[in-house]
Structure formats: structure tokens, C-alpha cells
Amino acid sequence: MVPGVLLLDAALHAAVQARQSAGEDRGRAVHCQIASAKFLSPVLPGEPLTIVCTPTAAGHTRFDISGIGRPVATGTFVFQSVP
């Protein structure tokens, strides 16, 4: 089985790319906190996954990871610029 920390790492990379594509955080150091994370279904090595990152009304980033036909993990990242 794929460890949850690897799923979180993949979701974080996807969230950072999404924020950069939206023009956020360019050239700034950013701190990230995992506000919540739920692992809903085990993942086997080599299984194809889809990661969707969505900004929330509170300014956080929600992530949803799904396998073929089922949710795998969900949660929220909180990003803050470092002065």
C-alpha cells in the first residue's frame, strides 16, 4: 500500500502548482500547514490517481484525491506567506 505521507506530498505539489498557475506566491517563501486530512481508501503502488485542488472561500486550498471510481483522500492546506 502507498503510505499516506506520499499522498499528502503529491497533493501538496499539486496545490503549489495550482497556486503558482493562478499567480499566487511568485517569488515569495510560503509556509504550509495541513489543516485536515482524511484517508478514505487504500492505494496500491502504480494505481492511477487524480488530484484536484480547489481554493476555498476562507482562502485555504482543498484537495481531493481519487482512484478509479472511488475517493482516496481529502483535506485542506493553509498557505501563509513568510515575511
CATH of the domain at 73: 3.10.129
pLDDT value of residue 30: 81
Number of folded domains in the chain? 1
The CA distance from 46 to 56, in Å, is 30
What pTM was estimated for this model as a whole? 0.88
pLDDT digits (tens, 9 = 90+) for 42-81: 999 999 999 999 999 888 999 999 999 999 999 999 998 7
Kindly tell me the number of DSSP H helices and DSSP E strands found in the chain.
1, 4
**Structural domain boundaries, residue 23:** 4-81
Compute how many other C-beta atoms are within 10 angstroms of the C-beta atom of residue 72: 22
